[in-house]
Amino acid sequence: MEHRRLGRLGRENGVLIFGGAALGEATEEAADTAIQQALDAGVDHFDTAADYGDSELHYGRWMPEIRDRIFISTKTGDRDGDAARRSIERSLDRLQVDFVDLIQLHAIGDLEDLDRATGPGGALEAAIQAREEGLVGAIGITGHGHEAPATHLEALSRYPFDTVLTPWNFILSTDEDYRRDYEALVREIKRQDTGLMTIKTISRRNWPEGDPTGDQRYTTWYEPFDQQEYVDAAVSFVLSYEEITGIAMVGDVTLVPMMLEAEGRRMPREEAEKVLAAAPNHSSPFISVPF
């Protein structure tokens, strides 16, 4: 698997990041199978969040065996500092580790949330204190929605976050306003040497109401591509941007093998764009966000 440098952290991680959301509702057997598949393919960055169901617990079973050879990141969705501190401590306990390589302020997709998290007594203060105590190695920020890139750009003007996790895929790139905001974010990320990771690589659209083909047949809140041709193209498109150090894999264990295969089947950006432009019913997943 290709590895890329995670910004000024200097860590060389595989370009596919195991997304812990896939394990939120998974059985122990399914979780272990997916984790082993990822390890066998060379995945060495495992990401999760405090609110991803049993994800941290599933990872925790593996830590005695793999902790010294992976990069582990988690997230806190709390905005208040005291609550964020408790969230970080609970995550360490559930993961069965003494520290995590990266703690991320989670799901900050607009300025109101950013104000709460970065203001006095907010989650950022708790993250900084945790880093000073050696509980976390680095501090990042994540977010969903059409406002995420602009919000994350503003975040970087307030604090030098080590990493940013923001949405990027082909259909979002066709939105002129979104692309402008994303490109402005990338310029600042390059200036600060921040690690850039992206999400929603294989998102196809929001789940249609009354879907006759299965009605949300995956554990993702959006409908993902599930044909290898489109998964290959979607992964190829995003990884064609060299500033992106890694992409979080899809939040459903049954689709993990398709993304692992796609990483080794990459095509030029122009070819990927042609495939995705012809994909039926392809639209932003942020027309309706269920949280």
**What pLDDT, on the 0 to 100 scale, is given for residue 220?**
95
Contact status, residue 142 vs residue 174, Cβ threshold 8 Å:
no
Average pLDDT estimate for 88-116: 98
Question: Residue 102: enclosing H or E segment and its boundaries?
Answer: strand 102-105
Distances (CA, A) of 100 to 69, 80, 134, 233: 13, 20, 9, 33
- Spell out the domain ranges in the chain: 3-277
Binning pLDDT at 50, 70 and 90, where does residue 212 land? Answer: very low
The interaxial angle of helices 256-263 and 228-239, nearest 10 deg, is 60
What tens digit of pLDDT does each residue of 49-93 get? 999 999 999 999 999 999 999 999 999 999 999 999 999 999 999
| Topology of the domain comprising 3-277 | TIM Barrel (3.20.20)
What tens digit of pLDDT does each residue of 151-198 get? 999 999 999 999 999 999 999 999 999 999 999 999 999 999 999 999
Contact status, residue 51 vs residue 25, Cβ threshold 8 Å:
no
Average pLDDT estimate for 258-281: 98
Binning pLDDT at 50, 70 and 90, where does residue 290 land? Answer: confident
